[in-house]
A = this chain, B = another copy of it.
Amino acid sequence: MFFEIDVSNGVPVYEQGARQIKFAIADGAFEPGQLIPSVRELARELAINPNTVARSYRDLQDQQVIESVRGTGLAVTKSAPTTCRSDRIRVAREHIKNAIGQALRSRLSQDEVLEIVQEELKRVQQN
């Protein structure tokens, strides 16, 4: 599997877990109707507590990204791919907006902001 958890970066483990599942769905790695890894299985793989995984999965159920099939497991909902994809874009957009808003409030000029953005895009491109 391709999941990774960083316990030391402040972001709650259960959120990281939920986000990775949503990313996997957005990327088509999990299709509607398909069962996602069981609580115990994912907990073993990520070396975290099953309850923490359960918390991730509960949140995903609240968001109607997965649904419980009794005694069988948790399955990706029909609407999940769409919501996961749009979620991802929406969140990214939100962060960019916040960062820019804060930069302008910090007296950076529009040109300076644009320059930082282009710098960063170029830097990432090289890696």
Instruction: Report A's interface with B, CB cutoff 8 A.
Output: 7-8, 10, 12-13, 23, 26-27, 62, 67, 69-70, 72, 88-89, 91-93, 95-104, 106-108, 110, 113-114, 116-118, 120-121, 124-125
Contacts and interface: CB of A to CB of B under 8 A. Distances in A.
A121 B125 contact: no
Given A92-B103, A96-B116, 9 more contacts: A8-B69, A10-B70, A23-B106, A88-B106, A95-B103, A96-B100, A97-B116, A97-B120, A113-B121
A69 B48 CA distance: 12
Given A12-B70, A70-B12, A99-B92, A114 B121 contact: yes
A117 to B, nearest CB: 5
